[in-house]
Amino acid sequence: MTHYAPPLPAAELERNFADIAPPLTPDAAIAEAHRCLYCFDAPCTKACPTHIDVPAFIKKIATGNLRGSARVILDANPMGHSCARACPVEVLCEGACVLNDRDVKPINIALLQRHATDYALERKLRLFAPGRPNGKRVAIVGAGPAGLSCAQDLRRWGYAVTVLEAQDKPGGLNTYGIAEYKMRPATALAEAQMVLDLGVELRTGVVVGRDVGLETLLEEYDAVFVGVGLGSNRGLGIPGEELVGVVDALSFIAHLKSHPYSETPVGRRVAVIGAGNTAIDAVTQAKRLGAERAMIVYRRGEADMRCYHYEYELAKRDGCEFRFHASPRRVLGNARVEGLEVETPAGVEVIACDMVIKALGQTPRAEFVPPAAHPKLFVGGDCANGGAEIVNAAAEGKKGAAAIHRMLGGGHG
Amino acid sequence: MADLRANCAGIESPNPFWLASGPPTNTYGQVARAFDAGWGGAVWKTIGEPIINVYSRYGSVDLGGNRVMGFNNIELITDRPLEDNFREIAEVKRDYPRNALVVSLMVESKREAWHEIVKRTEDAGADGLELNFGCPHGMSERGMGSAVGQVPEYTARILGWVKEVATRPVLAKLTPNVTDVTYIARAARQGGADGLSLINTINSIMGVDLTTFAPLPAVGGKSSHGGYCGPAVKPIALHMVSAVAGDRDVGLPVSGIGGIATWRDAAEFIALGASSVQVCTAVMHYGFRIVEDLADGLSNWMDEVGLRTLDDLRGKALPNVTTWEQLDLNYHLVAEIDYDKCIECELCYVACEDGAHQAIRRHDDADRAGGRHAVEIIEEACVGCNLCSLVCPVDGCIAMKQIPNGAPPVSWKDFTAGRGRLAPRPEHFHVARFG
């Protein structure tokens, strides 16, 4: 391991992974809430995939009704807290705020949403109650944002809900995959717990397809909702991929999030292959762990990057480097990574590095999306949409719950 | 540069900005600093038989994150010995001979008591006297303040006593806590007042503490009604000032008071007839320094619109204050949206639809994609009420546009007397039939 960067001092690591958007003080929250115009049929609400009534929750902050505010948010979106931390609000609610048209800073919806949901999480408020048992049972595969959002509504309507989770903790990518400076696992788990506290049965360490068959679930339950996320990371498909020091981005991030920071090895010089949001999460966190140089290596140009613009800006602020139009050909090294050979418009080049992080996206999980739809099977979240935001998964989880409710004769939803 | 010199009932000051009687005019140190900052005059905090105050004296109404939109107090008159007040009044006059120093007075309703305090105050050098007939709390329970100002006969009688000995101008400060302030103003005229100051504060409870259920401001869990003032009361004060200034039977100079915080407020009071204006809450909020922009802003604006002296401005709006029955029923207004400025918040829509006259149509996303605007005025339903333009958060986005209808003006008075003709109106908001 000597070729890896020595761990930074604990205090520096703590600083590097501190909350990137610290919460508002109560005074600042009220002042910001008062700026909201309380639009009718508000564009922010329309822009949110879960259609949170944004003006309503903001006005409740202004009146000091934080419980009511949190309820408005979490009723529409059980993952309202993680969304407040990790949503791309610039392209959703805040981007739609009418104040943008007035050349005024849009309302800081994310931090206000965080303020209200912090209040509920810190106090472990019971904002919702389970419905009267209706005798029907639903299995949910995957305790990520989609599955948990589905579970909340079903419990509120009186269904018995069992969630099967392959990992040993709930939360899915909220727990294992969000950049550490945006949200820590404990927060994701607290948010998940609010849903579980409605009386959801959670069975962790259960892999559907290995420990229990999907067919069995479909036989034993009245309905099954699948929200398992995406599959494994796509491979590079180039020589040298098996060398020590080649890791996939999600494993790198998950390791960082489930160990003390100093225990996640990071190279002195790190090349991250890919230019999506996960690539940015990997390169910034590599840098924050102590890499001397951390670099995005991307075969296309700046304008083609799939990451959000503000994520790109963040990586630049973190001191990360960008190599555009550099197509990886080979990982070089004897047993462990020593460099990355890339093809550029100027010819073949070697980028010296001792760690390569693969961030080329994840494969779909076709096994849960059968070609012939089963009437009792519902899917949502990344496994259905090919990979999107938490808020999309939450919206689809709720949509799945409503569809199940309709199918099983529920009066509404 | 405009000449801001003011003369209210013979009391002259370098500008019309006086500190109103209250906590800011309690001591030599405060008034001296105020005059140094540029205030034209000050009305010394009411003197009389010293009292004892409670702790916890002020309350505030905050709105939309803004502090002190409304303010109240349950503080009484001076709690300092009369001798100290007189000595400091004399010192202020000695050090600031050019500034107007009026002294507010309140004593029990006895002729001798009033004679004595008037003489001693004039001996101290006051330029004028202001009789506090308005304080609505505490002192009124003892038969003073608004207990006097609410009864025309008492008001006239005490003024008569004061005028028996006063040699300097006497202002009567009126309470708004009456059914019609002009009756009291006329009584003050009959009693011999040289001018009027109004309004004093309005009876109020500022709120209730929802933890302790104590009214605010709370004194050991209890409260009494206090005197309400600050920006929120300005419209009430403007009305009362105009009512008094425009009343032929009153005919007295007016010192305007009530929510004045900016030069615009001051200009409005003067335009409605005030000869000087008095400020208290804004100073309690921001300090004496605000006078700089009061004077600077007023002067710049007067230069801009070509007004040379306060006489040119005073009362300019008074002829336009009339009765409802004189308003033109044929003056036709319709709202007009400037779509270059519209931010599509739809506040105009919901306000009109739920709160007024259902004269704004909204288009759904599909229609908008097809090129329609988010909202649209239904001209034939618009009653020109102004509501949409008032709630619109963008300055100048919704304008009220006059629609020429060719019809000569007709007032309700004329119309019901059979004179004049109503211009045709959309059927649906003209339900009743006349004539």
Res B75: pLDDT: 96
Q: Is the pLDDT of residue B432 over 60?
A: no
Give the class (CATH, top level) of A137-231+363-407: alpha beta
The pLDDT, as a whole number, for residue A411 is 58
- Segment B359-382 shows an average pLDDT of 94
Of B194, B342, B324, nearest in space to B254 by CA: B194
Superfamily of domain A21-122: Alpha-helical ferredoxin (1.10.1060.10)
A123 in B contact zone (CB under 8 Å): no
Chain A contact probe: residue of B67, B343, B347, B397 with most A CBs at under 10 A: B343
CB of A98 within 8 Å of a chain B CB? The answer is: yes
Whole-number pLDDT of residue A133: 97
* Mean pLDDT, chain A, whole residue set: 95
Tell me the nearest-neighbour CA distance from B145 into chain A, angstroms.
Answer: 37
With an 8 Å Cβ cutoff, is A27 touching chain B?
no
Give the model's pLDDT for residue B134: 92
B390 touches chain A (CB under 8 A): no
CB contact under 8 Å between A37 and B393, yes or no, is yes
Q: What is the pLDDT of residue A365?
A: 84
ipTM, interface predicted TM-score of the complex? 0.85
Nearest CA in chain A to B394: A102
A212 has a chain B CB within 8 A of its CB: no
Q: Cα–chain-centroid distance for residue B311?
A: 20
**Interchain contact, A40 vs B347, CB within 8 Å:** yes
Type of residue found at A171:
G
Mutate which: A34, A35, A37, vs B, most B CBs within 10 A: A37
How remote is the C-alpha of B77 from its chain's centroid? Answer: 21
Instruction: Say how far apart CA A272 and CA A280 lie, in whole Å.
Output: 8
B391 to chain A, any CB pair closer than 8 A? The answer is no
pLDDT tens, A34-90? 999 999 999 999 999 999 999 999 999 999 999 999 999 999 999 999 999 999 999
Nearest partner of B280 among B296, B267, B265, judged by Cα: B265
The interface residues of chain A toward chain B in range 101-120, judged by CB-CB distance below 8 A, are 101-102
Helix, coil or strand: residue A348: strand
What confidence score (pLDDT) does residue B427 get?
64
User: What band does B50 get if pLDDT is binned at 50, 70 and 90?
Assistant: confident
pLDDT band at B192 (very low <50, low <70, confident <90, very high): very high
Which residue reads 């006497």 in tokens? B170
Cβ of B362 and A41 within 8 Å?
A: yes
Tens digits of residue pLDDT in B223-251:
999 999 999 999 999 999 999 999 999 99
Look at residue A107 in the predicted model and tell me its pLDDT.
Answer: 98
Which residues in B lie closer than 8 A to residue A37 (C-beta atoms)?
345, 347, 393
| Six-digit token string for A285 | 């966190």
Does A95 contact chain B (CB < 8 Å)? no
Instruction: Evaluate whether B314 touches B275 at the Cβ level (below 8 Å).
Output: yes
Three-class SS of chain B: CCECCEEECCEEECCCEEECCCHHHCCHHHHHHHHHHCCCEEEEEEECCCCCCCCCCEEEEEECCEEEEEEEECCCCCCCCHHHHHHHHHHHHHHCCCCEEEEEECCCCCHHHHHHHHHHHHHHCCCEEEEECCCCCCHHHHCCCHHHHCCHHHHHHHHHHHHHHCCCCEEEECCCCCCCHHHHHHHHHHHCCCEEEECCCEEECCEECCCCCCEECCECCECCCEEEECHHHHHHHHHHHHHHHCCCCCCCCEEEECCCCCHHHHHHHHHCCEEEEEECHHHHHHCHHHHHHHHHHHHHHHHHHCCCEHHHHCCCCHHHCCCHHHCECCCCEEEEECCCCCCCCCHHHHHHHHHCCCCEEECCHHHHHCCCCCEEECCCCCCCCCHHHHHCCCCCCEEEEECCCCCCCCEHHHHHCCCCCCCCCCHHHCCCCCC
Q: Cα(A99)–Cα(A105) distance, rounded to whole angstroms?
A: 6
Q: What are the strands, taking DSSP E only, across A144-286? A: 160-165, 201-204, 223-226, 246-248, 269-273
Where are chain A's structural domains? 21-122, 137-231+363-407, 246-358
Two structure tokens written together for B149: 């100002």
Model pLDDT, residue B434: 55
**CATH code for the domain defined by A246-358:** 3.50.50.60
Q: Which of A228-232, A238-242, A273-277, A293-297 bottoms out in mean pLDDT, i.e. has the lowest?
A: A228-232
Cis peptide bond prior to A390, omega within 30° of 0: no
Please answer yes or no on whether B394 and A31 come within 8 Å at the CB atom. no
Whole-Å CA distances, B226 to A348, B3, B78, B218: 84, 38, 16, 11
CB contacts, 8 Å: A41 with chain B: 346, 362
> Do the Cβ atoms of B65 and A31 come within 8 Å?
yes
Backbone phi, psi, residue B183, to 5°: -65, -40
Model pLDDT, residue B435: 47
Contact list in A for residue B347 (CB cut-off 8 A) is 37-40
Q: Do B64 and A98 touch (CB under 8 A)?
A: no
| pLDDT tens figures, B170-191 | 999 999 999 999 999 999 999 9
Where does the pLDDT of residue A413 fall: very low under 50, low under 70, confident under 90, or very high at 90 and above? very low
B362 strand-pairing partners:
B375
pLDDT (0 to 100) of residue B46: 98
Catalytic sites of B, residue numbers: 135
Dump pLDDT digits (tens) for A299-335. Answer: 999 999 999 999 999 999 999 999 999 999 999 999 9
pLDDT exceeds cutoff 70 at A8: yes
Return the number of CB contacts < 8 Å for A and B.
Answer: 34
When CB atoms are compared, the residue of A38, A46, A102 closest to B343 is A102
User: Which chain B positions have a beta carbon within 8 Å of A65's beta carbon?
Assistant: none
Say whether B346 and A99 touch across the interface (CB within 8 A): no
Which residues in A lie closer than 8 A to residue B64 (C-beta atoms)? 34, 62
Is A101 close to B343, i.e. CB distance below 8 A? yes
Which pLDDT band, with edges at 50, 70 and 90, does A369 fall under? low
Choose among B50, B101, B56, B62: nearest CA to B75.
Answer: B56
Instruction: List pLDDT tens digits, range A76-135.
Output: 999 999 999 999 999 999 999 999 998 899 999 999 999 999 999 999 999 999 999 999
- Strand, coil or helix: A379: strand
Interchain CB distance below 8 Å, B346 and A30: no
- Average confidence (pLDDT) over B132-146: 92
Give the N- to C-terminal CA distance of chain B in Å, as an integer: 56
Label residue A367 by pLDDT band (50, 70, 90).
Answer: confident
Is residue A411 within 8 angstroms of chain B, CB to CB?
no
What does the pLDDT read at residue A391?
A: 98
Give yes or no for A37 touching B (CB within 8 A).
yes
**Is residue B283's pLDDT more than 70?**
yes
State pTM to two decimals.
0.90
Best mutation target among A27, A36, A38, A40 (most B Cβ atoms within 10 Å) is A40
Of A177-191, B302-316, B415-429, the range with the lowest mean pLDDT is B415-429
Residue B302 predicted with pLDDT over 50? yes
- How confident is residue A1, by pLDDT bands cut at 50, 70 and 90? very low
Residue A80: predicted pLDDT: 98
Segment B130-152 shows an average pLDDT of 93
Whether chain B has a CB inside 8 Å of the CB on A310: the answer is: no
The pLDDT assigned to B305 comes to 98
Is it true that A21-122 and A246-358 share their CATH fold? no
| pLDDT of residue A11 exceeding 90 | yes
Instruction: Check CB contact under 8 Å for B345 and A31.
Output: no
Name the average pLDDT for chain B. Answer: 96
